[in-house]
Structure 1
Amino acid sequence: MVRYAEPGAVEWVESGGGPLIAVPETVLPFWAGADGDETASDYDRACEIEDHVGLLPVGDSAALVFGDEPASTSYLADHNTFVRWCAADSEDELLAGVPAALATAEWEQEVRWDVPGTVVLFDAAWPGHDSTRADHVRVALPPGPYAVRAAQVQPGPETWLGLVQLRRLPG
């Protein structure tokens, strides 16, 4: 697999060309990825998400699909944000642009995501039970409802990134 994000300050997850997905650990066994005998696999369903983010039912929960493009993605807990590396000369340059990007982002409409706890970010083609055998990041989230919003931002002349921010809702 070609690596676009070099190892550095944060852990990046990449895909083989399709969407990335964040699946709650409690329902990982129900995500079949590209496997299965169905007419449309879970991976096919994830590929149908045309927006920057979307939700797909998985077991008794939902997975967050990162649509649009297969950009290297990491989670920055201090910003409650998944950052997607679209263009930058270095990881340092990309990460330095995050605060400005968050301050100037023109956010798309939010979706509500009910999270039962920790989620695993990985390539949607992988079955959930194999997700930890490939690039993946575990994101410890307190259980509860979240507002999820996305934006594409250019914080510098040669730096483009995607943002997927989580905001905990009361309840």
Structure 2
Amino acid sequence: MGGPLIVVPVSALPSWGGCTESGLMAADATAPDDYDRACAVDTLAGVIPIDENGTQALVLADEPATSCYLPRHRAFLRWLAAETEAGLRAAAEAVLVDPATVWEECGTWVSDGPAVLMDSAGAGSDSGTEYPDGGMPAEASVPLPAGRWRVRATQTEADAENRVGLVQLLPAGS
């Protein structure tokens, strides 16, 4: 829908409200809705609260680029420019192991385990539910262990044909 992508712990999906028609929370006509809060992240990635229990969502900010999760690297790969998926993945692998890669530190995210990568405009309660006119929400499961994660991100031209975005989760303290 054009908004940033977001990673929501499965346990907190019912609490993610997404976008409302007015752009405001129903219970508080002055508070921005979840989608607008996600859009307010002005770095490559950021963490925002989901509920009063301290549950957090990870926002993959900037643009809603086609993205996937690379479990081996605990990284989200964002397709910025590439001729092929294979070329993009190879470029991402090279960037991830290159000690010269410049990373932006994006805070700490605490998650209680598996999560869902989805459009921030969608409501978490709609996850896995077919739309009335057919089709399913675009989402991907993120097999993540519970933990406290240091979030870092980069957008880089890996080579002449591939520009990658990466948001990587590292154990906090590393």
Alignment TM-score, normalising by the size of structure 1 = 0.86
Asked if 1:127 is matched to 2:112, the reply is no
Contact 2:44–2:61 (CA<8 Å) still a contact in 1?
yes
Structure 2: which amino acid aligns with 1:79?
H
Point out the structure with max Rg over C-alpha: 2
How far the C-alpha of 1:111 sits from its partner, in A, is 1.1
| 2:153 paired residue among 150, 154, 167 | 150
Asked if 1:53 is matched to 2:45, the reply is yes
Counterpart of 1:113 in structure 2 is 109
How far the C-alpha of 1:105 sits from its partner, in A, is 2.0
- State how far apart, in whole Å, the 1-side matches of 2:68 and 2:59 are: 14
Q: 1:45 to 1:110 in 2, by over 3 A?
A: closer
Where does structure 1 differ by over 6 angstroms across 4 or more consecutive aligned residues? none
Structure 1: which amino acid aligns with 2:145?
P
| 1:78 paired residue among 62, 72, 78 | 72
Contact 2:47–2:58 (CA<8 Å) still a contact in 1?
yes
Contact 1:101–1:154 (CA<8 Å) still a contact in 2?
no
- State how far apart, in whole Å, the 1-side matches of 2:145 and 2:111 are: 8
Structure 2: which amino acid aligns with 1:131?
S
CA RMSD in angstroms, aligned pairs only:
1.4
Contact 2:49–2:56 (CA<8 Å) still a contact in 1?
yes
Alignment TM-score, normalising by the size of structure 2 = 0.84
| 1:29 paired residue among 10, 14, 22 | 14
- State how far apart, in whole Å, the 2-side matches of 1:54 and 1:130 are: 23
Counterpart of 1:65 in structure 2 is 59
